[in-house]
Amino acid sequence: MDIPKAVLDEGNSDKLLGLGNRHVLGIVEEYANLCRPEKISVITDSKEDINYVKELAIKWGEEMPLAMQGHTVHFDGYHDQGRDRENTKVLVSDGQTLGKAINTADREKCLEEISGLLRNIMAGKEMLVRFFCLAPVKSRFSICALQLTDSAYVAHSEDILYRAGYEEFRRLGGSSNFFHFVHSSGELENGISKNISKRRIYMDLEGNRVFTINCQYAGNSVGLKKLALRLAIKKSHLENWLCEHMLIIGVRPEGKNRTTYFTGAFPSACGKTSTAMIPGQTIVGDDIAYLMAGNDGRAYAANAEQGIFGIIEEVNPSDDPLIYKALTTPREMIFSNVLIADKNPYWLGMGRDIPVQGRNYAGNWELGNKDATGKEILPAHRNARYTIRLGELENVDQNLHNPDGVPVSGIIYGGRDSDTSPPVLESFGWPHGVFIGAALESETTAATLGQTGVREHNPMANLDFLVIPLGTYIENHLKFGLLLDKPPRIFATNYFLKENGEFLNRRADKKAWLAWMEARVHNECNAIETPIGLIPRFEDLKELFKMLFNREFAEKDYERQFSIRAKKLLERLDRIEGIYRAETNVPEVFKQHIGQQRRRLLEAVEKHKKEVILPSDFE
């Protein structure tokens, strides 16, 4: 390789050459000569190499040790606290179009721009060369991933979140069938990325690569997370499987010796991680799932990751006991953008009093501090996070690393909706379930830069990550169902229904909705048919609430939560129809479902002479 020995010494060079892969060598050489790091360290799967990265994160000040053993904290810049939609772009060639929902840019121009921005960007820094595997190793799900970064925090995060992949690259031989990622925090000021105006997150599908610079927030900088998700969506499209923004859980019903696996798609801050961590169930994954058809005609899912990068706000011992226990006991874990006082972390909604001063994402903080615009600075950011291995959790599923994946019996689509959808319902079948997922809406939160509280369309909770036209994406889901003799049942949930500003159900109630879905998969309870799908009967929920919580579920609460709000539902249909009217190649069956649901709702309003219809009216 044409890299000076002062930059890449013999030991590190041998690690690269030992892979026997000229494509890897070419990538490292190209970006070494473009980014001009002072030193290159090649990290294998060895404990020694991985510990080197952890120590660097502390040495460089990207992480600071906390009072509890294994805990560290990382701070992103004040203006680097969420996914940057505006500067996250899919690169397309002349004449290529991906639809209005996807933020695209000219490939040739962007590659020229990013090359200019990368030139000398690592001067005086150390480049870390990392090897990971997306999904279980030695599996049909496995995808090799190469990461180049000058951030030890990014590299350490990936150690927690992904399976080691140096040996997987050996198994590749000389193949170029892998993803690669180039990241730089850019010029630093007080340890924070300085040139936020030059933040770029570019996905080059043709090159199976992602560039991300001048950023530290993991959602923008950790290449193997949502950036690799885009590349895998393209790969799945070409290979007839599904890459989804989904959790995977094993549901274990009370008093029954079985585990039923579900996947679920929830936009950020809509209950995804807390659903994955419901007490009594097992977790396979909380974020990204690969779904493939099995030889037995069933769908199988594998977790692309082995860890959690979870939102920490409102995690407390009452609502999320398993997560809270994990966050407050010794283990390797990274907090980000929380408040630190006396080397202890504090976050919003943790169920404890928060100190009035400390250090947070804005620097030294005390109660009442305001930013340059006059906005009050919260003690911890609403998008503050924790990074932890799934294997550290007591409820991890035994099949987390199963190369065959797990059989999927149900799929859940969950939005954030204060005034329209009931807490849980079942679709009429696979095509109708795809329609439900493709019509998913959510009220925006702090997980994405921009205004909060805005209702957005987010099909399958995956819109931010699509790299194929939306119509094609929906068609892929419809076709996937045809590959299966026994497709999973599809459900929808909404934990955020309100009246007069108050939530109509408790956070823990999601366990009852999950138990009902599991029972439906096994045909153990009936349901009520409504214009929008099948809803639970009161008697079944009453029994579940008594069994699970030893609590009476009042019929008046059932009616408030499961009434069909026809006017609101029709308004949403109009919004969804308008959105898809602007898209190309939308499957005809999807348009038919819009018309059919509108007709069913209008007929129900006409029959019952009211716009909010009680569940009992449909029995």
| C-beta separation of 584 from 471 below 8 A | yes
Mean pLDDT of 413-439: 95
Which helix (H) or strand (E) element contains residue 365? strand 363-366
CA 74 to CA 385: how far, in whole Å?
10
* pLDDT band at residue 279 using 50, 70 and 90 as cut-offs: confident
Count CA atoms closer than 13 A to 201's CA, side-chain side.
27
pLDDT for res 320: 80
Mean pLDDT of 207-222: 94
Place of tokens 């943790």: 350
Q: Two tokens at 30?
A: 């190209």
| Mean pLDDT across the chain | 94
Mean pLDDT of 437-447: 78
Strand order in the sheet with 71-74: 64-65, 71-74, 333-336, 385-389, 307-311
At the fourth CATH level, the homologous superfamily of domain 310-388 is: Phosphoenolpyruvate Carboxykinase, domain 2 (2.170.8.10)
DSSP state of 227: I
List the domain boundaries for the chain: 10-62+81-239, 243-309+397-618, 310-388
CA 179 to CA 13: how far, in whole Å?
21
Residue 185 has pLDDT above 80, yes or no: yes
Task: Give the other-Cβ count within 10 Å of 24's Cβ.
Answer: 23
Q: For residue range 367-390, list pLDDT tens digits in order.
A: 999 999 999 999 999 999 999 999
Q: Do domains 10-62+81-239 and 310-388 have the same CATH topology?
A: no
* pLDDT band at residue 121 using 50, 70 and 90 as cut-offs: very high
CA distances from 136 to 34, 141, 143, 264, 394 (A): 33, 7, 9, 19, 20
Q: For residue range 337-365, list pLDDT tens digits in order.
A: 999 999 999 999 999 999 999 999 999 99
| C-beta separation of 407 from 298 below 8 A | yes
CA 478 to CA 440: how far, in whole Å?
16
Pairing of strands 104-106, 88-92: parallel
Mean pLDDT of 111-132: 98
Cβ partners under 8 Å of residue 11, min gap 6:
none
Identify any residues that bridge with 147 across adjacent strands, giving them in sequence order: 130, 181
Of 35, 215, 270, 525, catalytic: 270
Active-site residue flag, 270 = yes
Q: For residue range 13-39, list pLDDT tens digits in order.
A: 999 999 999 999 999 999 999 999 999
CA 11 to CA 533: how far, in whole Å?
62
- Give the chain's radius of gyration (CA, Å): 24
Q: Which fold has domain 10-62+81-239?
A: Phosphoenolpyruvate Carboxykinase; domain 1 (3.40.449)
| DSSP letter for each residue of 393-447 | STTB-TTTT-TT-EEEEEEEEEEB-SSS--SEEE-SSHHHHHHHHHT-EEE--TT
CA distances from 576 to 96, 151, 490 (A): 25, 41, 19
Pairing of strands 344-346, 339-341: antiparallel
Specify the CATH architecture of the domain 243-309+397-618.
Alpha-Beta Complex (3.90)
Strands of 78-194, DSSP E: 88-92, 104-106, 126-134, 143-149, 163-164, 178-184, 188-189, 192-193
pLDDT for res 450: 56
Q: For residue range 131-181, list pLDDT tens digits in order.
A: 999 999 999 999 999 999 999 999 999 999 999 999 999 999 899 999 999
CA 161 to CA 242: how far, in whole Å?
21
Backbone phi, psi, residue 169, to 5°: -65, -35
Count CA atoms closer than 13 A to 44's CA, side-chain side.
14
| C-beta separation of 511 from 495 below 8 A | no
CA 15 to CA 12: how far, in whole Å?
5
- pTM, rounded to two decimals: 0.93
CA 608 to CA 299: how far, in whole Å?
40
Task: Give the other-Cβ count within 10 Å of 605's Cβ.
Answer: 18
Q: Which of 387, 392, 303, 393 lies closest to 54, judged by CA?
A: 387
